[in-house]
Structure 1
């Protein structure tokens, strides 16, 4: 019944500390959701509990249970999330002009990276005795939370912007969630979900304010560190797309922890990639001033005008000696088809944005051509087929005659074949 390896929750702004055993989202000393909390650990306790067999065999993220902020009597709610493959990508490397590997988190149970956090959310909600879980989402977190809520036997109520992709909304509906389409932006849906949490006492999964959600996401850093150790080389860069900033922050924290504990010899630089139409974290990192709160990009999963985890994301970029780059929607769609045709990996636009970011960083000289990069594809392409349709030329209609095929590809003339 203990969680002794978790020392405290600490405000990222004022460093006030709070009891990690309570359900708490942000520091009350700050208005709104500004006072984001950080989970602080006792790493001696973690090191004693973790079987540091860094062998590359990762069945799920729960290999790292010693690192996760759950009580030892908690009923873990899992669908086998994590343990995703790290692929060599020789054809993509040739196209980008830099050695590239792909960590394909679109292979998680509900098809996206967010499963790493949702498993923690539902586990924590059940332990806290909550019957209803909620979040705001452009689609992926909605589907993810709904799937894990179903697995854990909890009710799920989701708030999405009215223009969220239909394909993504079908998934949480199948999982039995109530999906409430808010006539407004993601940020308005987010604000409503926070108000509802306060009013009804539902457990909120929103990764930017629930301090334990980033901790699930950081398992990708643990996995990348372990997979790098087995390969014998830590990559120079790891690239993630950024919406609220939670994923970049979590991945850096996880990799850094393995380095500080001596499991790997070095750490990578983080490359945060944002769409030009949703550039708030990039602008904050490069001190460009206040960003436009309206987010417009084909990569709906990162269409966030007011990211809540900017502080953690910028800190990850700074601590890792990394940086942030911007890419336009055309570059994102080009990257989606590039990843598909070179390596057979089908990513939704937000997942492909990281590929576009690497291409941009190489062109700008940020990434040297003799360096190594890991790209994380955060979501499966079937999440957003409309984006894929925009990125490709579509099907080619033909009549059922072999002459039609010959007209396209050349070859023998059916009229003369066998005439001799």
Structure 2
């Protein structure tokens, strides 16, 4: 990996050999010392010879940017290359020009597949037989699918209240799913303990420095797909903070290398009941680690990548907003009914954030907005039913249909 210079602690600047499996800086207790992957961009530029023509089969088009060995065989299900849609009816509803990138179309239904492909590739190349992570469901399903693809054992730690729809997926993929009697953060702590005790390869995006690097391919794709029409605002939901930072890093890299001329402002969106990154960005005091939101994919009380997420918001000239669960459900229904895009609650949260930002005057009506949907709606059908209401029951008589829908229309 001669294109990867080092792993650098975001707190103290201590550096580590990127060829080694290391998760956090040893100078800081717990998982505070998050590591940043530093590249030799002269090498990256020399190796990247793909045309930026919008033809993106999968994220491995950007292999020159990914922190994997030259002789590593990718473990892939052709993640990435997701569509960017114009969304005129959604824009009319929100009062702004809208586009949507639907990363719920990834192989296991979530943007996290970009990161998982990289981590499982690295685990397999390093000769590790077991991969693990903590998850509210999406990362678990993603890791299980890619572990099956790569022939690795997968052992997952989920909170006891994770949605059944999300637990069915990893079980089908053959993973061991261990439901912890506690919160996501308790499941996370246990996953870190077993990683140290048993030597399993840990995919936790909050601490595995290579996970963010896979997620940043969404920024590469967005930069390529919006050449000549870069949005004024790029919107992500925020949980651990990895996705928004990864998207920003990828987009910024393309600007710095001269592939695109400008970058968007970032809008980060969190739920009222899980607001730690928003609070840190706005310098609000926040010590409450108890979360309360139906958007389980972003229900994180102790985000491990707050530093990176706040850095992305500030570097981009962006900001963050909070939205209620009711606003998230409304956004899920609005996105589906206007544009035919089915998102889970966390995936629809950016739409709720755009509505909030428009109401507060953060986004002007003459500005353009691009929202990234991070997960597919079938991940949480219970919330979808709450957003949309129940089916209408009728008798098998055409007269009843006629009464409901005026046949003269």
Is the TM value for this pair above 0.5?
yes
Residue 121 of structure 1 pairs with residue 119 of structure 2: yes
Residue 238 of structure 1 pairs with residue 240 of structure 2: no
Give RMSD over aligned pairs.
Answer: 0.9
Residue 384 of structure 1 pairs with residue 380 of structure 2: yes
Aligned with 1:253 (options 249, 256, 262): 249
Aligned to 1:209: 207
Structure label with greater radius of gyration: 1
Residue 82 of structure 1 pairs with residue 71 of structure 2: no
Q: Partners of 2:52 and 2:389 in 1: how far apart? A: 45
Q: TM-score, normalised by structure 2?
A: 0.99
Deviations 1:35-57 (A, max 9, x none): 00000000000000001511000
Q: Partners of 1:357 and 1:142 in 2: how far apart? A: 26
Match runs of 1:10-409 below 5 Å: 10-229=8-227, 232-409=228-405
SS in 2 for 1:87: strand
Asked if 2 retains the 8 angstrom alpha-carbon contact of 1:139 and 1:164, the reply is yes
Shift of 1:412: 5.3
Shift of 1:127: 1.1
Deviations 1:326-351 (A, max 9, x none): 00000000000000000000000000
Deviations 1:70-103 (A, max 9, x none): 0001111000000001000000000010001000
Q: Partners of 1:209 and 1:326 in 2: how far apart? A: 25
Shift of 1:177: 0.2
SS in 1 for 2:248: helix
Q: Partners of 1:9 and 1:242 in 2: how far apart? A: 24
Deviations 1:380-407 (A, max 9, x none): 0001000001111210000011121122
Residue segments in structure 1 that go unaligned for 5+ positions in a row: 414-420
Q: Partners of 2:382 and 2:288 in 1: how far apart? A: 26
Q: Partners of 1:209 and 1:51 in 2: how far apart? A: 31
Deviations 1:261-299 (A, max 9, x none): 000000001110000000000000000012410111110
Residue segments in structure 2 that go unaligned for 5+ positions in a row: none
Asked if 2 retains the 8 angstrom alpha-carbon contact of 1:125 and 1:133, the reply is yes
Q: Partners of 1:149 and 1:347 in 2: how far apart? A: 25
Q: Partners of 1:250 and 1:65 in 2: how far apart? A: 15
SS in 2 for 1:179: strand
Q: Partners of 1:56 and 1:254 in 2: how far apart? A: 16
- Please list every run of at least 4 consecutive aligned residues from structure 1 whose deviation after the TM superposition is greater than 6 angstroms: none
Q: TM-score, normalised by structure 1?
A: 0.97
Between stretches 117-126 and 47-56, larger displacement belongs to 47-56
Deviations 1:147-193 (A, max 9, x none): 00000000000000000000000000000000000000000000000
Asked if 2 retains the 8 angstrom alpha-carbon contact of 1:279 and 1:291, the reply is no
Q: Partners of 1:31 and 1:256 in 2: how far apart? A: 31
SS in 2 for 1:92: helix
Shift of 1:256: 0.2
Q: Partners of 1:379 and 1:148 in 2: how far apart? A: 17
Asked if 1 retains the 8 angstrom alpha-carbon contact of 2:50 and 2:61, the reply is no
